[in-house]
Amino acid sequence: MVEKQRGAMRLAACDPAAHALGLTAGMALADARARVPDLAVFDHDPVADLNLLGWLADGCERYTPACMLVPPQGLLLDITGCEHVFGDAARLAKDLHARFSRHGLSCRIALGRTPDSAQAKAKYAARAISDVPVEALDGGDKVHKALRRAGLRSIGDLAVRPRKPLAARFGKAVVVRLARLLEEEDPRITPRRSLPIIHVAQNFAEPISRTNDVLATIEMLAGNAALQLQERGQGGRRFEICLFRSDGHVARLAVDTGTPTRDAALLMRLIRERIDALSDPLDPGFGYDLIRLEVPIAEVLANVQVGLETKIDTDAAAAALIDRLSVRLGAERVRQFHARQSHIPERAALERVAQSDVAKADWPKADWPKPVPGEPAMRPFRLFETPQPIEVTAGFPEGEPRSFRWRRHVHRVTRVEGPERISPEWWRHPRGYAPGNGSLTRDYYRVEDNEGRRFWLFRRGLYDEIERPLWYLHGIFA
Amino acid sequence: MSYAELACTSSYSFLRGASPPSDYVAEGIRRGLTAIGIADRNTVSGVVRAWKALGDAPDEARSALLAAKRDAGEPEQLTEAEKAACEPNIRFLAGSRLVFSDGTPDIIAYPATRQGWGNLTRLLTVGNMRATKGSCILKFDDLRDHLDDLLLIVMPYATADAEEAHKSPPLYAFKETAKPIAAPSHLKLVSTAPQDWESVLRRLAPVHVGKLWLGVSTHHRGKDKRQLARYRQVANAFDVPLLATNDPLYATRDQRPLHDIITCIRMGTTIQKAGFALEANAERYIKSADDMAHLFHACPEAVAETERFAAHIHFDLEQLKYEYPHEPVPGGWTPDDWLAHLVWTAAHERYGAELPEKIRKSIETELAFIRTEKFAYYFLTVHDLVKFARDQKPPILCQGRGSAANSTVCFLLGVTSVDPLTNTLLFSRFISSDRKEPPDIDVDFEHERREEVMQYIYRRYGRHRAAIAATIIHYRPRSAVREVGKALGLTEDITTRMVSTVWGSFGSGPDERRLVEAGFDPDNPEIARLKALSEQLIKFPRHLSQHVGGFILTENRLDERPQFH
Amino acid sequence: MNKKPNHIQPTLSAGAFPSVQGMWKQYQSDAAQSLLPTGAPYVDERLRGGITQAGLHEFFGGAKADSHAAAAFALLLAWRLPESDAGIFWISGDKERQTSGRLYPYGLSAMGGDPARMLLVQTADLRDALRAAADAIRSKAASAVILETHGNARLVDLTSTRRLALAAAETGVLALLVRGDAVPMPSAARTRWRICSAPSAPLPGNAPGLPTFDISLLRHRGGAAPFAARVTWDHATRSFFDAPLSGGLSAIVTDTETGPASRQRA
């Protein structure tokens, strides 16, 4: 790999074969070519390298969700608690190595109890931390030279020395780093993704591809997760299933619930819905060799027994149905009525998504007005989103409609009541407070035609507001 | 057809009416109504303004006409006909809307006579005494005890808010009535008050024959016709006539936005959240006789009834004159004679049998003036107080000050201490420019012992005849901008910045230059809107407060005139 | 020894001896299904009590313009169910919303309904709607499920309706199928109706009155004979009542007619 360094094309990196022929990084390209005339040279593309590293990290998520990039060539995996999926750490490392080889990549894997020690061992290809050279301290060339002059060449050499004089002579930072390398201190890594609260996984020696098998596995994992949630007194609000294909591809499915849950059966139903609802069906390729279930969002869910009262059952059943339909159809298609205080009819009633992050208690329990005995409904059964333009014959100046034409059908008005005058909400326009600003008052009429059908009409604009006000049909009465 | 609007709610119904009484009068004149009646909620504090506005109307009309002529280049003279045209042809009627705390619907009361006015103010006092300062708690039974000479318009709805009861109402016994006022009880009596307008009619129609009406309005709320038919049916059954009213909350339709704003201020909400608390439309303004005839074409008699109603009223505010207490004058003397006696006696005591010419002349001039203007009582009352104070052991220090020092009479009565013999007194300084009102005599009493003075006043005249004058606090520019800003939903930092631009307390609103200085764009429609609405709110009454130290002493019961609080 | 004849041998597992009470309960649940009366005496008489609460019923509109009447009538029927916490599910598709508009909760509450207890599902197509309806019926979260469809959809056939009917019978949910602008075709619905809007008895001032319908029972699986009637809905009692066909004033219990004298008596 070549790139421009210090004014000349130089080697950025060499493969083992090139090394064997005596080429090193930093060497000028011209020199390199002189030694190896048929040298294969590629442009160094750091961005592409980084992307590749990221892709590799994605694949490594199968081992643990806690992965960190160490550019340009490193990956740090925190496999605490994850080794058992593969048996033990050694087997996990073996699997990892095999995976890389399959992709045509060579890698050096090192295990350590702390990130620093593992990283150092990998970088310097040492089996034990004591073999790692002092350069691993990252203290700077001067410090390294000084250490070597003092006869300290490896971490093992430093380990036996008292720390205080070392700190005094070479600086505190060196001593801190030494402690980390020697696994005495243990800073956590910063993973690429936020860690889920709970994650359970299952791997397969023989990758599985049959849907039933996949679902059975997920069900088992769901049961596990439910147990963990129960121990924590929590319920999950979001569940993610990661399906790792043997060829490295990862598929993710997510399921949200309106209320926290740890009901494994409910979860399975929702997951099945999610899978059914996929626009492109899952393609297992050559099979999934790892399936993981994560719970990224959980909330407190007390250990309450479902009571014998039907109310709780109904509410729970309704919530479950809402969740199910929301997953299948999309949350915005499952709605409830919501009131808003406004005299403008179309603004006064909304539909809100039934499954909501907002706790139900916060929803204003809408107090819909009670009907008055003997009073007919003053509002229609159905409202048109867009008021329908109609042609009306009415008395002048502000007379009642006598007949109207809608969708090419003429209606003769036999009963009518009105007007119910609704003035515009003047505050919604900056100059609405001043007279003559152009906003229009509506005069609504309830009408019944000769065929016994009842409509809600309005005239848009008073005759002293606009020269030729237009009429509309806004709704239908029962 | 002629029409009188009898149910105007002015800005003196705090935060309910969006027009000052003068606006109603002006609009009534403009619309050619035969009479305009101001009936504010549990108060008569606004009627004086309206009455005054009507009195000023001819002058204003004449000035306007002259100005128009000047602009048109015509000679600035008015013909007899033009002068006559400037005389408004409208009556002003003073009343009050009784709002009850026990569920009784609103009833608008107009006094038919001077006695009726006394009844009305007494009734309102009963309510005021029961409540904390500024509020009024009325019960239906209170009305029943004060029915005489009141014309009542029953409204088919109630507008009461929750009120706070007085912690411990002052207990005092009127000489005339033996009825004790019960201490408030924690027991809640089962309400026997009528809870709907039909019950009100049922209870009042038999006892108040010929003086009861049902007030009806049509505001285009969808079922006007049906409702009107119902009202007519029920009212007929009780032989109560319908009375048409538009129940205005503002004088012109353009004032609806201001009304919405004051509703928000009253309810402590913003215009965006107020929702159904706001009126659905802008129909509650002064309408013409033709408009009302059109709206009530199904029962035109309701419109005609308004004129019949006005004809029943023989009371005018002109009839209210200030009446002083009689105590300071001993039996057998007239006030002028007694005053003269006191003054001449004191003069001889001080200057001897032969009075200096200067003294004699000023006494004669002043006494003549006092006799002409009928101010004797006033001087005697003040003398009485001062005498009491000086007679105490030890004497309470008191001193008259201000322009009163220019009066020889005051000196001789012991009110002031400026000796006219050795000083030049200018009596003209003492007399106020408005000769209708007695001149101000300010007397300072020893601060620590002023309670003794107050107690003396109460003992001598009775609590029901002495009161600390209440004045009405208006919105100042700062408070107007702050309240309107809040109601418009503007954030606090913006309203605070706007408030800080308002120049002093007596400016008339945000100054444009200072707006720019504060970082506002005066062309920004939001700012323009805030400015426009605040300017309308300034000068609106906000609440009542005590006037510092002023006492009112009267002959008749004080609560027959202004109201007690 | 008396041997029980085979044909009255109870079909229970050998060894279990059923109690008389248990048998009686089972017999009862088979025979007497809960019936929902409309409240209008003539209609309920013709229905022999009412419509089966745990079943599927379908409503067609007389003319295309009557699709609203069919929808409204179905909803009003659902409001006749005894109060419970279970709600009413309204399922319709994008097409219905486009042509007919949205349910307006203030109008619903003015007719005596409780919009807070309703859930609305709007699907992209009919297949989803049918499936959602079936789920809703089976979930026990609903006391009534109303499915509104558009046009003469072939998908609403014997098979799909049978699925709905069986689910409703199983769970006791009232399932109503509103096919306002379709023509009647074979279905598994227990009753089939045609609904038209009808003139109302006017209120004072010649104002339009209460919701009034001309209803015709076209088919009844239980054997009731077809009939036609006119009914009006009274939101005060949440019940239908028989309305005269000639459009004269009917005996509506309203305050508008009674005067103070009669109120004193009352």
What residues have CB less than 8 Å from B138, skipping those under 6 apart? B42, B98, B99, B100, B101, B123, B124, B126, B127
Alpha carbon distance A289, C236 (integer Å): 65
Mean pLDDT comparison of B187-201, B375-389, C182-196, highest-scoring range: C182-196
Which residue of chain A comes nearest to B254, CA vs CA?
A435
Q: Is B5 touching C (CB cutoff 8 A)?
A: no
Cross-strand partners of C56: C175
Instruction: Calculate how close chain B gets to C202, using CA atoms only, in Å.
Output: 11
Q: Look over chain A and give the mean of its residue pLDDT values, rounded to a whole number.
A: 84
Q: What is the mean pLDDT of residues C234-258?
A: 64
Instruction: Supply the DSSP string of C1-60, one letter for each residue.
Output: -PPPPGGG---S-TT----HHHHHHHHHHHH---EE--S-HHHHHHTTT-EESSSEEEEE
What residues have CB less than 8 Å from A129, skipping those under 6 apart? A112, A117, A120, A121, A155, A156, A181, A182, A183
Alpha carbon distance A155, A112 (integer Å): 15
Q: Is C114 touching A (CB cutoff 8 A)?
A: yes
Amino acid type, B122: R
Reported ipTM exceeds the 0.90 cut: no
Q: Which of A423, A429, A444, A457 is the best substitution to test chain B (most B C-beta atoms within 10 A)?
A: A423
Q: Look over chain B and give the mean of its residue pLDDT values, rounded to a whole number.
A: 82
Query: Is residue A145 pLDDT above 70, yes or no?
Result: yes
Q: Is C50 touching A (CB cutoff 8 A)?
A: no
Cβ-nearest to A433 among B223, B275, B533 = B533
What would the pLDDT profile of B261-297 be if each residue is shown by its tens digit? 999 999 999 999 999 999 999 999 999 999 999 999 9
Amino acid type, A388: Q
Query: Is residue C239 pLDDT above 80, yes or no?
Result: yes
Cross-strand partners of C216: C194, C228
Helices assigned H by DSSP within A7-162: 16-20, 29-35, 46-60, 83-86, 89-102, 115-123, 141-149, 155-159
Instruction: Calculate how close chain A gets to C27, using CA atoms only, in Å.
Output: 26
Instruction: Calculate how close chain A gets to C176, using CA atoms only, in Å.
Output: 17
Say whether A417 and B222 touch across the interface (CB within 8 A): yes
What pLDDT does B61 receive?
Answer: 84
Q: Name which residue leads in pLDDT, A118 or A392.
A: A392
> In A, which residues are within 8 Å of B196 by CB distance?
none
Instruction: Calculate how close chain B gets to A389, using CA atoms only, in Å.
Output: 21
Please tell me whether residue C77 adopts helix, strand or coil conformation: helix
Q: How confident is the model at residue B323 (pLDDT cuts 50, 70, 90)?
A: low
Query: Is residue B546 pLDDT above 50, yes or no?
Result: no
Please tell me whether residue B162 adopts helix, strand or coil conformation: coil
Give which of B70, B65, B73, B7 is closest to B40, Cα–Cα.
Answer: B7
Lowest pLDDT segment from A283-292, B104-113, B303-312: A283-292
What would the pLDDT profile of B411-431 be if each residue is shown by its tens digit? 888 888 888 888 877 777 777
What would the pLDDT profile of A68-126 be if each residue is shown by its tens digit? 888 778 888 888 777 777 778 888 888 888 888 877 788 888 888 888 888 888 888 88
What would the pLDDT profile of B15-30 be if each residue is shown by its tens digit? 999 999 999 999 999 9
Q: Which of residues 443-502 of B touch C (CB under 8 A)?
A: none
Chain centre to alpha carbon of residue B224: 34
Alpha carbon distance A375, A384 (integer Å): 23
In the numeric block, which tokens belong to residue C149? 């469809």
Give which of B9, B21, B14 is closest to B541, Cα–Cα.
Answer: B14
Q: Is B233 touching C (CB cutoff 8 A)?
A: yes
Mean pLDDT comparison of A145-159, A242-256, C175-189, highest-scoring range: C175-189
What pLDDT does B97 receive?
Answer: 96
Alpha carbon distance B405, B415 (integer Å): 9
Q: Name which residue leads in pLDDT, A148 or A57.
A: A148
Cross-strand partners of A238: A256, A297
What residues have CB less than 8 Å from B448, skipping those under 6 apart? none
Say whether C205 and B230 touch across the interface (CB within 8 A): no
Query: Is residue C69 pLDDT above 90, yes or no?
Result: yes
> In B, which residues are within 8 Å of C259 by CB distance?
233-234, 237
Cβ-contact A465, C198 below 8 angstroms: no
Mean pLDDT comparison of A177-181, A183-187, B206-210, B404-408, highest-scoring range: B206-210
What pLDDT does A21 receive?
Answer: 80
Q: How confident is the model at residue B233 (pLDDT cuts 50, 70, 90)?
A: very high
Which residue of chain C comes nearest to A339, CA vs CA?
C105
What pLDDT does C223 receive?
Answer: 86
Q: How confident is the model at residue C13 (pLDDT cuts 50, 70, 90)?
A: very low
Torsion of CA B554, B559, B561, B565, to 10 degrees: 110
Say whether C110 and A379 touch across the interface (CB within 8 A): yes
Alpha carbon distance A188, A115 (integer Å): 7
Q: Is C201 touching B (CB cutoff 8 A)?
A: no
Cβ-nearest to A435 among B254, B273, B275 = B254
Instruction: Calculate how close chain B gets to A194, using CA atoms only, in Å.
Output: 37
What pLDDT does C259 receive?
Answer: 38
Query: Is residue A400 pLDDT above 50, yes or no?
Result: yes
Q: Is B275 touching A (CB cutoff 8 A)?
A: yes
Query: Is residue C30 pLDDT above 50, yes or no?
Result: no
Q: What is the mean pLDDT of residues C70-75?
A: 97
Cβ-nearest to C197 among A333, A417, A451 = A451
Say whether B238 and C260 touch across the interface (CB within 8 A): yes
Alpha carbon distance B148, B153 (integer Å): 14
Q: What is the mean pLDDT of residues C206-218?
A: 95
What pLDDT does A373 receive?
Answer: 84
Cβ-contact A476, A456 below 8 angstroms: yes
For B29, other C-beta atoms within 10 Å of its C-beta total: 17
What pLDDT does B172 receive?
Answer: 42
What residues have CB less than 8 Å from A28, skipping those under 6 apart? A8, A9, A10, A11
What pLDDT does B563 receive?
Answer: 46
Say whether C256 and B230 touch across the interface (CB within 8 A): yes
Query: Is residue C1 pLDDT above 60, yes or no?
Result: no
Strands A349-353 and A250-261: unpaired
Which residue of chain A comes nearest to B256, CA vs CA?
A433
For B518, other C-beta atoms within 10 Å of its C-beta total: 15
Give which of A309, A258, A270 is closest to C135, Cα–Cα.
Answer: A270
Say whether A374 and C202 touch across the interface (CB within 8 A): no
> In B, which residues are within 8 Å of C261 by CB distance?
237
Q: What is the mean pLDDT of residues C208-232?
A: 94
> In B, which residues are within 8 Å of C263 by CB distance?
198
Instruction: Calculate how close chain B gets to A335, using CA atoms only, in Å.
Output: 23
In the numeric block, which tokens belong to residue B437? 């009102």
Numbered residues of chain A with Cβ closer than 8 Å to any chain B Cβ: 340-343, 375, 378, 417-423, 426-427, 430-435, 441, 443-444, 446
Q: Name which residue leads in pLDDT, A455 or B359.
A: A455
In chain B, what percentage of residues exceed pLDDT 90?
36
What pLDDT does C8 receive?
Answer: 43
Instruction: Calculate how close chain A gets to B530, using CA atoms only, in Å.
Output: 10
Q: How confident is the model at residue B314 (pLDDT cuts 50, 70, 90)?
A: very high
Please tell me whether residue A306 adopts helix, strand or coil conformation: coil
What pLDDT does A31 receive?
Answer: 83
Question: Which strand (E) or helix (H) includes residue B545?
Answer: strand B541-553
Q: What number of C-beta contacts closer than 8 Å exist between A and C?
A: 207
Q: Which of C203, C254, C255, C264 is the best substitution to test chain B (most B C-beta atoms within 10 A)?
A: C203
Look at the block and give the residue holding tokens 């008699």: B301
Cross-strand partners of A256: A238
What pLDDT does B173 receive?
Answer: 37
Q: Is C244 touching A (CB cutoff 8 A)?
A: no
Say whether A423 and B532 touch across the interface (CB within 8 A): no
Chains near B with 3+ CB pairs less than 8 A apart are: A, C
Cβ-nearest to C255 among A373, A380, A454 = A373
Say whether C204 and B229 touch across the interface (CB within 8 A): yes
Q: Which of residues 170-199 of C touch A (CB under 8 A)?
A: 196-199
What pLDDT does A345 receive?
Answer: 95
Cβ-contact B488, B530 below 8 angstroms: yes
DSSP annotation of B555 reads: S
Q: How confident is the model at residue C250 (pLDDT cuts 50, 70, 90)?
A: very low
Mean pLDDT comparison of A167-181, A418-432, B459-473, B540-554, highest-scoring range: A418-432
Give which of A119, A63, A433 is closest to A248, Cα–Cα.
Answer: A63
Lowest pLDDT segment from A359-368, A387-396, A401-410, B388-397: A359-368
Please tell me whether residue A206 adopts helix, strand or coil conformation: strand
Say whether A380 and C100 touch across the interface (CB within 8 A): no
Q: How confident is the model at residue C262 (pLDDT cuts 50, 70, 90)?
A: very low
Instruction: Calculate how close chain B gets to A477, using CA atoms only, in Å.
Output: 15
Q: Which of residues 206-225 of B touch C (CB under 8 A)?
A: 223, 225
Instruction: Calculate how close chain B gets to A332, using CA atoms only, in Å.
Output: 26
| H helix count then E strand count, chain C | 8, 12
What pLDDT does B169 receive?
Answer: 46
Cα–Cα separations (whole angstroms), residue A443 to A457, B106, B294: 8, 29, 17
Q: What is the mean pLDDT of residues A358-379?
A: 72
Alpha carbon distance A41, A334 (integer Å): 60
| H helix count then E strand count, chain B | 20, 11
Please say whether the dihedral angle defined by the alpha carbons of residues A389, A394, A396 and A397, taken in this order, is positive or negative. Answer: negative
Neighbour-count burial of B410, counting CB atoms closer than 10 A to its CB (0-12 exposed, 13-18 middle, 19+ buried): buried
Omega of the bond prior to A72 within 30 degrees of 0, cis?
yes
Say whether A433 and B273 touch across the interface (CB within 8 A): no
Q: Which of B204, B224, B230, B240 is the best substitution to test chain C (most C C-beta atoms within 10 A)?
A: B230
Instruction: Calculate how close chain C gets to A362, using CA atoms only, in Å.
Output: 14
What would the pLDDT profile of C89-127 be if each residue is shown by its tens digit? 999 999 888 888 999 999 999 999 999 989 999 999 999
Q: What is the mean pLDDT of residues A407-412?
A: 94
What pLDDT does B178 receive?
Answer: 44
Cβ-contact B95, B37 below 8 angstroms: yes
Alpha carbon distance A454, A436 (integer Å): 34
Look at the block and give the residue holding tokens 């750490």: A89
What would the pLDDT profile of B251-260 be if each residue is shown by its tens digit? 999 999 999 9
Which residue of chain B comes nearest to C255, CA vs CA?
B230
> In C, which residues are within 8 Å of B230 by CB distance?
204, 256
Query: Is residue A24 pLDDT above 90, yes or no?
Result: no
Which residue of chain C comes nearest to A371, CA vs CA?
C110
> In C, which residues are within 8 Å of A385 by CB distance?
97, 101-102
Q: Name which residue leads in pLDDT, B472 or B154.
A: B154
Query: Is residue C202 pLDDT above 80, yes or no?
Result: yes
Strands C142-148 and C87-93: parallel
Counted residue by residue, chain B has a size of: 565
What pLDDT does C16 receive?
Answer: 45
Omega of the bond prior to A16 within 30 degrees of 0, cis?
no
In the numeric block, which tokens belong to residue A202? 């299952």
